[in-house]
Structure 1
Amino acid sequence: MKWKLIFALAFAIIGISAIKNDDPLLMPRLSAYHLDADAEFIKYEVATPLFSDYAEKERLIKLPKGSTLTVTGDGLPVFPDGAILVKTFFYWRDKRDTTRGKQLIETRLLIRSAGGWQAGTYVWNKEQNEAFLTNTGQKADISWIDATGSSRIIHYRVPTSSQCATCHKSNDGIIPIGFKIRNLNIPVTRNGRSVNQLTWFAERGILHPINPSSYPTLPAWNDTAQPTEQRARAWLDVNCAHCHNESGFCSKSDFRPAYENTLSQTHIPDKKKRILSFLRSGRMPLLGTTVVHKEGLELIENYLNKK
Structure 2
Amino acid sequence: MKKRQHLIMLMLVVGMAAITCVQACQQQVSQLGPFEFLDKLSSYGFFVGETKNLQPAARVLHYTLNTPLFTDYALKDRFIVVPANKEMQYKDSGVLDFPDSTFIIKNFAYRNEAGAKVMIETRLLFKDPQSHEWKVMNYIWDDKQSDATKLIVGKKVPIKFLDDDNQLQQTVYQVPNTNDCKRCHINNSDIQPIGPKVRNMHIGDQLRKWATAGYLKGLPAEEQIPTLPNWQDSAKYTLAERARAYLDVNCAHCHTQTGDAFNTGLFLEYDQHDKNKLGFMKNPVSAGAGAGGMDFDIVPGHAHQSILAYRMNSVEPGTAMPELARTVIHKEGVQLIVEWINSLPKQ
Q: TM-score range by the shorter chain?
A: 0.7 to 0.9
Q: Counterpart of 2:229 in structure 1: which amino acid?
A: P
Aligned partners of 1:222, 1:164: CA distance in 2, in Å?
27
Query: Alignment partner of 1:109: what SS?
Result: strand
1-side partners of 2:96 and 2:165: how far apart?
A: 38
In structure 1, distance between residues paired with 2:337 and 2:93: 24
In structure 2, the gaps of 5 or more residues are: 1-33, 49-56, 282-296, 299-305
Aligned partners of 1:258 and 1:266 also within 8 Å: no
Q: Cα gap change, 1:201/1:265 in structure 2, threshold over 3 Å: closer, same or farther?
A: farther
Aligned-residue sequence identity (percent) comes to 34
Structure 1: 5+ residue stretches without partners: 1-22, 188-195
Aligned to 2:339: 302
Cα deviation digits, residues 152-205 of structure 1 (max 9, x gap)? 223211011111111011233210101110000011xxxxxxxx1210111232
Q: Verify the 8 A CA contact 2:94 2:225 in the aligned structure 1.
A: no
Greater RCO, 1 or 2 (C-alpha within 8 Å, sep 6+): 1
CA distance in 1, matches of 2:222, 2:132: 27
Q: TM-score, normalised to structure 1's length?
A: 0.84
The answer on 1:25 being equivalent to 2:36 is yes
Q: Show CA shifts across 1:96-143 (max 9, x none).
A: x8xx63100000000011321010100000000010111111111112
Where does residue 312 of structure 2 map in the other structure? 279
The number of residues matched between the two structures is: 273
Which protein has the larger Cα radius of gyration, Structure 1 or Structure 2?
Answer: 2
Name the counterpart of 1:288.
Answer: 325
Q: 2:96 maps to what in 1? A: 77
Aligned mates of 1:295, 1:128 — CA distance in 2: 30
1:259 matched to 2:270? The reply is yes
Pairing of 1:1-307 with structure 2 (within 5 A): 24-37=35-48, 38-73=57-92, 75-93=94-112, 101-113=116-128, 114-187=131-204, 196-208=205-217, 209-225=219-235, 226-264=237-275, 266-270=277-281, 271-272=297-298, 273-282=306-315, 283-307=320-344
Contact map agreement 1:198 1:212 (CA 8 A) in 2: no
Alignment partners' CA distance in 2, 1:296 and 1:40: 34
Please give the secondary structure, in 1, of the residue aligned with 2:88: coil
Task: Give me the whole-angstrom Cα distance separating, in 1, the residues matched to 2:116 and 2:146.
Answer: 13
Give the partner amino acid of 2:249: V
Q: What is the CA RMSD across the aligned residues, in angstroms?
A: 1.8
Alpha-carbon distance between aligned partners in 1 of 2:73 and 2:163, rounded to the nearest angstrom: 9
C-alpha distance in 2 between matches for 1:82 and 1:220:
30
Output one character per residue of 1:248-288: Cα deviation in whole Å (capped at 9) or x when no partner.
Answer: 11111211111122253642323211211211223122201
Q: In the alignment, what sits opposite 1:8?
A: none
